[in-house]
Amino acid sequence: MARIADIGQHEGQTVTISGWIDNSTRRGKLLFIQLRDGSGRMQCVMRKQNVDEETFEAFKRAGQESSVRITGEIKADTRSKLGFEMQVSEGEVLQSAEGYPITPKEHGPNFLHDKRHLWLRSRRQFAIMKIRHLCVRAIRNFFDDRDFTLIDSPVFTPNACEGTTTLFETEYFGRPAYLTQSGQLYQEAGAMAFGKTYCFGPTFRAEKSSTRRHLTEFWMVEPEVAFADLDDIMELSEDFLVEVVAYVLEHGREYLEILERDLGPLENVQKPFPRMSYDEACAKLAELGTPVDPEDDFGSPHETVLTKEFDRPIMVHRFPTAIKAFYMKEDPTNPLRALGVDVLAPEGYGEIIGGGAREDRIDVLERKIDEHQLPQEAFDWFKDLRNYGSVPHGGFGLGLERLVCWVCGIKHIRETIPFPRMIDRLTP
């Protein structure tokens, strides 16, 4: 059985392809069948005189998404994008479909998400999923090729330390368990054993807001490196994004074209990324007429204003300690600032990476746990990492779907995951 993706190898040969009818039009004694087989799309031309009556009639009647098997000769065809078409000599309709719900007319997003199991067949959703796959492959290659060890963090976690408002809870044999929001703390244990580790799996957040940037279930990759400082983590983030975007540009151009993605901003993803401290970013924002309270975090609108000033991702580092997690290392030269970094994607996409150096001093860590009003005993194992061979270390987290959204240049994060889960969406 031949595949459309490899059809160029079969020019002049007679081959059989199994697939689905994407579309078909009749002009008299000719049927122009747009066939898709999961690897690509091609035109198959069926002439009434070349097939038996019954076959022609069956194909004439077969609706969109009918499954078929078609045999014919592959001919060069300069008019088609693929460069080839098939002159059909035999065909069989395996299952004749009627009333396929997704038609070329416009459908609302809710309807399309209700039919997500079918919508994935559309050219645009197909292209997005292919880009997602390429991103995943590039991410894993990046870490595997640099000798990071994959240490899957667990999904079930025992504590709801930072409040339960965005946590999903489950009953775990008579006690509560919570679904992970980040694998980082476990990666810190990993980095002390393996030097460099990463995890890459689903994480969960009970997001009560239904925006175009939020999912309740999304994939995160989280590398962690022993003996790394903030500068190392910034360099790692930079190398990482450069390599991942280059991989997609190399292997996914056809899909980016389907999405009509402007390639310029992706081709600009080259080192060095502009770096600025949070304080510098605030000064810049004030200059641009959108001031931030310097002890407060800046939000999505500020990110948009800031990133529009640059042609590539930017790195904002040294945030106010007060707004950051307890485990982030205080800047020894200014404890009011923490050694963290956010990488903001251009074109208004905003934060895609958050990371930094971790607090490796046991006394400071214990103080921070108290200051954040967290229970010390829940972190006994985490503190062990500082009691037994503490070293400077750091890492980052990247949300896969935000990356894919930006790389694809699309608006809605819900289209970047095969079966999105949101506050109002748990099906199909």
Site for its own copies in 212-251 (CB under 8 A): 216-217, 219, 226-227
Q: Is residue 60 involved in binding its own copies (CB under 8 A)?
A: no
Residue 2 lies near its own copies (rule: CB under 8 A): no
Q: Are 203 and 218 in contact (CB under 8 A)?
A: yes
Q: Which of 14, 70, 191, 113 is nearest to 413 (CA)?
A: 113
- State how far the Cα of 311 lies from the Cα of 341, in Å rounded to an integer: 19
Asked if residue 256 lies in contact with residue 245, where contact means CB atoms within 8 angstroms, the answer is no
Size of the site for its own copies (CB under 8 A): 91
Which member of 39, 71, 89, 304 binds its own copies (CB under 8 A)?
39
User: Distance (Å, rounded) from C-alpha 143 to C-alpha 146?
Assistant: 5
Q: Which among 42-50, 61-69, 70-78, 309-317 is the span making contact with its own copies, rule CB under 8 A?
A: 61-69
Q: Backbone phi, then psi, for 318, in 5-degree steps?
A: 60, 70
Q: Which of 30, 120, 286, 336 binds its own copies (CB under 8 A)?
A: 120
The least distance separating its own copies from the CB of residue 42, rounded to whole angstroms, comes to 14
Binders of its own copies among 364-383, rule CB under 8 A? 381-382
Nearer CB in complex with its own copies: 58/129: 129
What is the rounded CA–CA span in Å between residue 249 and residue 269?
A: 11
Contacts with its own copies in 169-208 (CB under 8 A)?
Answer: 169-173, 175, 177, 179, 186, 189-196, 201-202, 204, 206, 208
CB closer to its own copies, 116 vs 324: 116
Using CA atoms, how far apart are residues 211 and 259, in angstroms rounded to an integer? Answer: 22
Question: Which ranges constitute the DSSP H helices of 13-158?
Answer: 53-61, 109-114, 116-119, 123-145
Asked if 130 is part of the footprint of its own copies (rule: CB under 8 A), the reply reads: yes
CA distance 306 to 352: 14
Decide: is 136 part of the binding site for its own copies (CB under 8 A): yes
Q: How far apart are CA 57 and CA 188, in angstroms?
A: 65
Stretch binding its own copies (CB under 8 A), from 115-123, 282-290, 301-309, 368-376: 115-123
Of 54, 106, 147, 293, the residue at the interface with its own copies (CB under 8 A) is: 147
Nearest approach in angstroms of CB 170 to its own copies is 5
- Measured between alpha carbons, how far is 326 from 227 in angstroms, rounded to an integer? 20
Residue choice 144, 280, 370, 377 for contact with its own copies (CB under 8 A): 144
Q: Which is nearer to its own copies, 131 or 306 (CB)?
A: 131
Peptide bond before 272: cis, by omega within 30 degrees of 0? Answer: yes
Q: Which of 202/294 has CB closer to its own copies?
A: 202
Structure token pair of residue 8? 């160029």
Q: Which is nearer to its own copies, 97 or 323 (CB)?
A: 97
Query: At its nearest, how many Å lie between its own copies and the CB of residue 128?
Result: 11
Task: Work out the end-to-end distance of the chain between its first and last CA atoms, rounded to an integer number of angstroms.
Answer: 32
